[in-house]
Amino acid sequence: MASVASARCYGLLLPPSFAGARCCSRPSSSLRLRPRWGLRRPRTPLACVAPPDSAEPQTDEQAVKAESIQEEAPTSTPEDAGLPALPNKDLNRRVALLSTLGAVALFASQRLNLSEASLKDLAANSVPYEEALSNGRPTVVEFYADWCEVCRELAPDIYKVEQQYKDRVNFVMLNVDNTKWEQELDEFGVEGIPHFAFLDKEGNEEGNVVGRLPKQYFLDNVVALASGDPEIPHARVVGQFSSAESRKVHQVADPRSHG
């Protein structure tokens, strides 16, 4: 056994006379071994495969590096293959910026519309007086006129408060130029406009505010009505107003009109 050559191909020991032979990759059934001398050049190249145990062992450093490479390599699953790529951070920032700008523009436009509110806007949103006295909600009645400068000046502030509390408080507009409201003018003692009368749920007057006054006076009274307070904080307050004696009396064709 000592004289047997140590050349080996996949564990096959060869005799000494074939020590210089090469192993081809052909099937074992057709394997032919020839000595080097007199060997013709084969028609196809021969490939010698090293035995499995001939690989050099890895060092600890190489093993650690290989593991780190495997961990860093991105993994994908068959489910992920068909999914679209997620948007990057830059795209998210742009979307967020555009959303913010849109919200700011909407808010600014709303503020602009509120600041441009007029007596016509208030009259268009006005609850009919008869309905206000019967729907079980507190009411604010404003006596006004289109020619009243103070009325026009206060319209934007009144509109803002109305938009905030219109679900809990009735807002009624009565034009003093309409003869339909002669009885209400006498009942509430209207001598100057704008004249704001604050009524509880039963239609009883709790107080009134006349003329140009700070917006907070009007707001405080509306909040008290909406909260069901027994009294309003500003029950009898008079500021600069237009005289009701200057009204231009006329009879409107539609008796249901606020004007």
Residues assigned a catalytic role: 148, 151
AA identity, residue 247: R
Report the C-alpha gap between 99 and 63 in whole angstroms.
51
**Which residue's entry shows tokens 């034009």?**
175
Residue 34 contacts residue 21 (beta carbons within 8 Å): yes
The Cα–Cα gap between 205 and 115 comes to 30
Give every CB contact of residue 255 below 8 A, 6+ residues apart in sequence: 180
Identify the CA nearest to 195 among candidates 127, 135, 136, 148.
Answer: 148
Backbone angles phi and psi of 58, in degrees to 5? -80, 145
Amino acid at 159: Y
Q: State how far the Cα of 51 lies from the Cα of 10, in Å rounded to an integer.
A: 5
Cα 213 to Cα 172, 176, 180, 234, 241, distances in angstroms: 19, 20, 28, 11, 10
Phi and psi for 140 in degrees, rounded to 5?
A: -115, 120
According to DSSP, the β-strands at 192-193 and 170-175 are unpaired
Beta bridge partners of 139: 170, 199
